[in-house]
Structure 1
Amino acid sequence: MDPTDPVAVLAGLIRCPSVTPREGGALGLLEALLAREGFAVSRPVFEEEGTDPVENLFARLGDAGPHLVFAGHTDVVPPGSLDDWSVDPFAGQIVDGEMVGRGAADMKGGIAAFLAASARHARRNGASMGQLSFLITGDEEGPAVNGTVKLLEWAAERGERFDACLVGEPTNPNALGDMIKIGRRGSLSGEIRITGRQGHVAYPHLADNPVPVAVEIAGELLATPLDQGTDAFQPSNLEITAIDTGNGAVNVIPSRCSILFNVRFNDLWSIEALQDEIAERVARGAAGERLRPGRALPDYEIIWRERPSEAFSTVSDALTGELVGAILETTGRRPELSTSGGTSDARFIKDYCPVIEFGLVGKTMHMSNERVALSDLEGLTKIYEAFIARWFAANA
């Protein structure tokens, strides 16, 4: 397999069924291709109690000078029903000028393009440009416990220092060159557990229904916008994702009710300040008497889910400017600099170096018949190669 050919590399990666948390052969393939290009490759495995062990990859070319790292993941989400696919999701088939397969867009295509770009650049310019690394996990689509977080710690303990990072997530909404992600909103999840007393619906005075309390709390959570957004970020939004009693009987008042929620928030909030705001809203809702007049205050608790992430944005002309220049040079488009969308492993990398994200068009990611146009795959490879050259020239 020619490492400079992103189509061949992507087909090989898709044929590795690396559904989280299985490695599926994808990291093994990358290791072989990178080693052939002179990269020193390590394959650390991380695990902790209650989680699956996860294989990861770190590869570096060069021993001194400015250090650019490309980050991404080879793990993919399950394909779902095979009846919804027109081809085998792990066959890496080309249909009408597009590579179809799970992970084609998210994000084996980005990895294939950066590998091809790195190989092309090194063959044309030699390996004396500085240090170029790959930081690849198999745990991005999973719980993100044994992947990028631990891989960054492992690298730092070994003396690796990064000057800039590009994450190859699919960032473009419609066409290659549309959008660079220069940051991400924060994410905070939680559960509100309300305790009542079970009883018969015909005798409500003998019971204590937690559902009216949940309705009041939900109303308070949603009644007032958290903010109006900032110049760099869209408004924060709180979404209630479930209200559940675990009760399937229509003639039984439940003894409990839970509200699940997630907040995607901008840089007006810290995690602690947002937790305080939500706690105040929950308290107001729980104290409301409109749906339960004369009742004592209900018992409730808020359980914050693990691994909340802060909002962040990257201000680095040396990084963003060179990528914008490479996109303009290759496509003629000037990309939007955005912080929209969900979250990514860039939230961990920001603590080590400036980080931005740019990859393929993401229209079909996680869908049946996930696919990427071969022209976009080659186009992204050219953008990455131009970016590598520009970044090392600017940081020489």
Structure 2
Amino acid sequence: MPDLSLQALTDPLPLAQALLRCASVTPADAGAQDVLAEALSALGFTINRLPFGETPNLYARLGTEGPHFCFAGHTDVVPPGEGWTFDPFGGVVADGILYGRGACDMKAAIAAFVAGVAQAKDAGKLRGSVSLLITGDEEGPARDGTVRVVDWMRAQGEVPDFCLVGEPTNPEALGDIIKIGRRGSLSAAIAVPGVQGHAAYPHLADNPIHKLLALLQALVTHRLDEGNRWFQPSSLQVTSVDVGNPATNVIPARATAKLNIRYNDAHSAASLEAWIMAEAERHAPGATIAFHRTGESFLTDPGGEVEKLAEVLGEVFGRTPKLDTGGGTSDARFITHLCPVAEFGLVGQSMHKLDEQTTVADLRALAGAYATVLERFSA
């Protein structure tokens, strides 16, 4: 464990290294939340360990008065893969760069949360309350993580005034982007039945591939929307087509496909499911479709707290961040049902890649920015 004195915790690097040295490949924790809990306890946080199913979660709060500012993130990471320059769980610093799985997504940002709190506290500028909502299930199925902690927080009356998620939102440099919403995500697995037969005698068979292709053509050529001020146009992508047929002269008895839709606030999962079902009835009667909803789209009001956040980060980094909703999804989709939420973290160019990394300078700058945000929000 790193030094847990207040002064030492103002530097995010030692805690980031300690977290990176825990091989917390989802769903394993490998001691990561123990490391974090020790650091938070040293700062005076009250710790609540909230295991749901096999998922480790942690909610910690410092203070009891308002305003209540919450940081949110995850200690689980994706598998490292082969071919790293340095040990992916070594927390190595070389030439001013911190390497490790989770260096930008998002253990280093969690260390910056803690350092930001320590800096604000050390400066005597920490007022109100600050909390951390940490899950070990963001990179996994996301069933027993943030979504269940949010339910627990609501039941306990732990409702923040604002929440900041430390996902790596910046494409090039700190201060590029604040995410204030996310598109929804809907997946579908389609199975079209047919009648197997010889390709030379199609009248004795019923080719499911032709029906499936007609259905997919109708879906992919339909323009879902034109986008709007805050969201890009919705996108439907076919991700798999398969018949499992090794022969060239056999009409198969079944054809399947998978697709994913990333959709904006012009749609809901229910409305898209109804549309797909209607098209299937038209082009591929008898098809069965299994849907999986990852999350609905959401948008946080760009005024109020978001405007204040953009002003603070603009002052810190010398330019006003762009407000954006692009990319994949995040646990902010659950937090939006509890309180206003936005996302801001490190540069994300190396997330999920070999040699995932962040510069030490960026890590320390992010901690300083979080400290300033805390000071301004609690003023």
Task: Give the TM-score range, shorter chain.
Answer: over 0.9
In 2, distance between residues paired with 1:239 and 1:149?
27
Aligned to 1:115: 114
In 2, distance between residues paired with 1:7 and 1:271?
41
TM-fit CA distance, 1:321: 2.0
- 3-state SS of 1:21 partner: coil
Aligned to 1:343: 329
Aligned to 1:3: 9
Corresponding pairs, count: 373
Establish whether residue 125 from structure 1 lines up as the match of residue 131 from structure 2: no
TM-fit CA distance, 1:324: 1.3
Aligned to 2:365: 379
TM-fit CA distance, 1:279: 2.3
Aligned to 1:266: 264
> What is the 5 A alignment of 1:156-167?
156-167=154-165
Aligned to 2:28: 22
Q: Say if 2:185 and 2:295, in contact at 8 Å, map to a contact too.
A: yes
- CA-atom RMSD in angstroms: 1.4
> What is the 5 A alignment of 1:58-73?
58-73=59-74
Establish whether residue 352 from structure 1 lines up as the match of residue 338 from structure 2: yes
Q: Say if 1:318 and 1:391, in contact at 8 Å, map to a contact too.
A: no
Aligned to 1:311: 297
Aligned to 1:388: 374
Seen in structure 2, the aligned counterparts of structure 1 residues 155 and 336 have a Cα distance that, compared at 3 Å, is same
AA aligned to 1:303 is A
C-alpha offsets along residues 116-175 of structure 1, whole Å, 9 cap, x if unaligned?
Answer: 001111122265x11110000000000000100111112222221211100000000111
In 1, distance between residues paired with 2:210 and 2:302?
50
Larger CA deviation: 369-378 vs 311-320: 311-320
- 3-state SS of 2:72 partner: strand
AA aligned to 1:34 is L
In 1, distance between residues paired with 2:230 and 2:331?
20
Aligned to 2:48: 42
Aligned to 1:300: 287
Instruction: Give the counterpart of 2:354 among 350, 362, 368.
Output: 368
Aligned to 1:149: 147
TM-fit CA distance, 1:200: 2.8
Aligned to 2:5: none
In 2, distance between residues paired with 1:122 and 1:302?
54
Establish whether residue 101 from structure 1 lines up as the match of residue 131 from structure 2: no
C-alpha offsets along residues 303-352 of structure 1, whole Å, 9 cap, x if unaligned?
Answer: 211x3422111115332122212212211021100011110000000000
Instruction: Give the counterpart of 2:18 among 12, 23, 34.
Output: 12
In 2, distance between residues paired with 1:253 and 1:235?
37
- 3-state SS of 1:277 partner: helix
Larger CA deviation: 258-267 vs 246-255: 246-255
Percent identity between the two aligned chains: 49
TM-fit CA distance, 1:374: 0.9
TM-fit CA distance, 1:235: 0.3
Unaligned runs of 5+ in 2: 3-7
Q: Say if 1:171 and 1:181, in contact at 8 Å, map to a contact too.
A: yes
Q: Say if 1:66 and 1:130, in contact at 8 Å, map to a contact too.
A: yes
- 3-state SS of 2:105 partner: helix
Q: Say if 2:280 and 2:287, in contact at 8 Å, map to a contact too.
A: no
Aligned to 1:254: 252
Taking structure 1 as the reference length, the TM-score comes to 0.91
Aligned to 1:206: 204
Q: Say if 1:148 and 1:348, in contact at 8 Å, map to a contact too.
A: yes
Instruction: Give the counterpart of 1:332 among 293, 313, 318.
Output: 318
Q: Say if 2:175 and 2:319, in contact at 8 Å, map to a contact too.
A: yes
In 1, distance between residues paired with 2:88 and 2:283?
47
AA aligned to 1:105 is C
Unaligned runs of 5+ in 1: 48-52, 287-297
In 2, distance between residues paired with 1:133 and 1:204?
66
Establish whether residue 173 from structure 1 lines up as the match of residue 171 from structure 2: yes
Q: Say if 1:172 and 1:178, in contact at 8 Å, map to a contact too.
A: yes
> What is the 5 A alignment of 1:272-283?
272-283=270-281
In 1, distance between residues paired with 2:302 and 2:376?
14
Taking structure 2 as the reference length, the TM-score comes to 0.95
Q: Say if 1:105 and 1:362, in contact at 8 Å, map to a contact too.
A: yes
AA aligned to 1:386 is T
TM-fit CA distance, 1:202: 3.3
Q: Say if 1:316 and 1:354, in contact at 8 Å, map to a contact too.
A: no
Aligned to 2:80: 79
Q: Say if 1:196 and 1:299, in contact at 8 Å, map to a contact too.
A: no
In 1, distance between residues paired with 2:244 and 2:135?
37
TM-fit CA distance, 1:104: 0.3
